[in-house]
Amino acid sequence: MNCLAVDDESLALDLLEDNIRKVPFLNLVQRCRNPFEATEVLHREHIDLMFLDIQMPGLTGVQFLQTLGANPPMVIFVTAYEQYALDGFNLDVVDYLLKPVSFERFLKAVNKAYELYHLKTEVAPRSQIPAGQTALSSPATNDHLFVNADYALVKIRLADITYIEGLKDYVKIFLTSAPRPVITRMTLKALEEKLPTSRFLRVHKSYIVSLDKIESVRNLRIKIGPVHVPVSEHYSEAFFKALGTE
């Protein structure tokens, strides 16, 4: 993936460059000291992933990202300020790293970006879906639904679903019956509309959970097996009402 590093501090850029060069699937195209330099690079180069500082003179990273239009590159915020995390989630950034960033945490973030980058080649494009058939072929029945994945219609048993994660135009459906999630091209909202609300609930901009699979809830984090799914403030009231605690 072609990368761009944007930070007004030379030391921060040095550390980013060092980390990027350790990862075989990352290619650093250029490093920039401000958003204006970055804009010029974005106009002349194809950038897949941008590492972006937030607090910069003239234009913040958040403001800069908001100017990039409908199809910006994937973005990982790298900042010393935790209070901007919500802005990152609202802008659909891949991850939010707090300085100083360990290489282990950096690698986790870029692996997530790499997975998102390859979803387009792993999932059949809409042009290959038969005419008259959407990414989700039909509403869920009492016990299953069908989704397009791996160039086929795949049957998903509702009882097997633990939780669902949305990644822009794709969703990952995690199952008890498979070690890897089923990935299909559709929005989380479209899938949410097909699922029975008595069994599944949206708890976050990026997550739907199976109410049957919830083991515990602590500090707005749902435990489902080894995974902890966040509950956002926006969905918390409906979530706790569904649990019967309100």
pLDDT in tens, 118-177: 775 454 444 344 433 444 444 555 688 888 876 567 889 999 999 999 987 789 999 998
Which residues on adjacent β-strands are paired with residue 222?
Answer: 217, 229
Residue 231 near residue 220 (C-beta atoms within 8 A): yes
Count Cα atoms within 13 angstroms, Cβ side, for 67: 11
- The three-state secondary structure class of 144 is strand
Q: Which residue has the higher pLDDT, 141 or 62?
A: 62
pLDDT in the model for residue 238: 92
Considering the domain architecture, whether residues 105 and 185 belong to the same structural domain is answered as no
Return the number of other C-beta atoms located less than 10 Å from residue 175's C-beta.
16
- CATH number, domain containing residue 31: 3.40.50.2300
- CATH number, domain containing residue 137: 2.40.50.1020
Over residues 180-207, mean pLDDT = 90
Judged against a pLDDT cut of 90, whether residue 69 lies above it is answered with no
- pLDDT, the chain, mean: 84
pLDDT in the model for residue 150: 65
Number of domains in the chain: 2
Domain's final residue, options 75, 104, 122 = 122
Considering the domain architecture, whether residues 97 and 175 belong to the same structural domain is answered as no
Name, in order, each residue with C-beta under 8 angstroms of 7's C-beta and a sequence gap of 6 or more.
Answer: 13, 16, 31, 32, 33, 51, 52, 53, 56, 78
Over residues 72-88, mean pLDDT = 75
Considering the domain architecture, whether residues 85 and 187 belong to the same structural domain is answered as no
Considering the domain architecture, whether residues 217 and 190 belong to the same structural domain is answered as yes
Which residues on adjacent β-strands are paired with residue 173?
Answer: 164, 182
CA distance 97 to 50: 13
Considering the domain architecture, whether residues 146 and 179 belong to the same structural domain is answered as yes
Q: For 75-100, give the secondary structure using H, E and C.
A: EEEEECCHHHHHHHHHCCCCEEEECC
Q: Domain range for residue 17?
A: 2-122
Domain's final residue, options 72, 88, 122 = 122
Judged against a pLDDT cut of 80, whether residue 223 lies above it is answered with yes
Count Cα atoms within 13 angstroms, Cβ side, for 7: 20
Domain's final residue, options 105, 122, 139 = 122
Residues 33-54 have pLDDT tens digits of 999 999 999 999 999 999 999 8
Return the number of other C-beta atoms located less than 10 Å from residue 238's C-beta.
15
77: which 2 tokens?
């915020």
CA distance 124 to 71: 20
Residues 195-221 have pLDDT tens digits of 998 899 999 999 999 999 999 999 999
Considering the domain architecture, whether residues 39 and 148 belong to the same structural domain is answered as no
Considering the domain architecture, whether residues 89 and 37 belong to the same structural domain is answered as yes
Helices of type H across 130-195: 188-194
